[in-house]
Amino acid sequence: MKESRIDSSDLKNLAPAGAGLPKGRALFLRYVGFPLLKRAVSFDRALDHFLKEGERILRLAVSVDEDALFKRVMVPHLFGLEENSRYYSIAMVLEHLRIVGMALQERIPLLSRGEKLSREVKIEEYKPYRRIDRDIVEEYRGFIGSFREKLLENIGDIHSENRHEHPWFGALNPKEWMVMGAIHQTVHRRQIEAILKLLR
């Protein structure tokens, strides 16, 4: 196991995990950007985009050695990226994407079958502040490779009005959670690109 080095002097100036986006960006995403996307993007298209971004992320991750993979870098402000998430390593981004992706893989089918989710979604619980395995790239590769099959094996009505609250975007149905997941992949792919730019 390996852990990305944490420098407290870098962390102390960041907002706490779960603090959210700057108010203006948060309002735009919740009431303009995301409503437009969830109407325009189908479930299948969102799923395809999620996986394509996953493949792009893998190609970026394998382009660096292990030291670079675990080196934390403070990236500039990126649209859709919470302040607390700016100081990650590539390994931490991969772990975060696995945590979020596995939650989507479990919860989208449950919602689609009419089941209620009792646990509140708290952004801070999905942060990668844990020990990360040296094989994180292969773990993420396996996750992406099996995501579609595991997501769809017990899927029901993706347009069900059975909803669960997202702290930034409000109450989402199964299809809307998939759209959110696709956007999330893009945000963090851009983060990895920003990390690589600074590492090089």
pTM of the model: 0.90
Mean pLDDT computed over 22-36: 86
Classify residue 94: in a domain, yes or no: yes
pLDDT tens figures, 118-150: 889 998 899 998 889 999 999 999 999 999 999
Classify residue 8: in a domain, yes or no: no
State the residue range of the domain holding 97: 20-199
Taking CA atoms, 154 is separated from 109, 117, 133, 150, in Å, by 6, 16, 29, 8
pLDDT tens figures, 40-78: 999 999 999 999 999 999 999 999 999 999 999 999 999
Count how many domains the chain has: 1
| CA dist., res. 14 & res. 138, Å (int) | 30
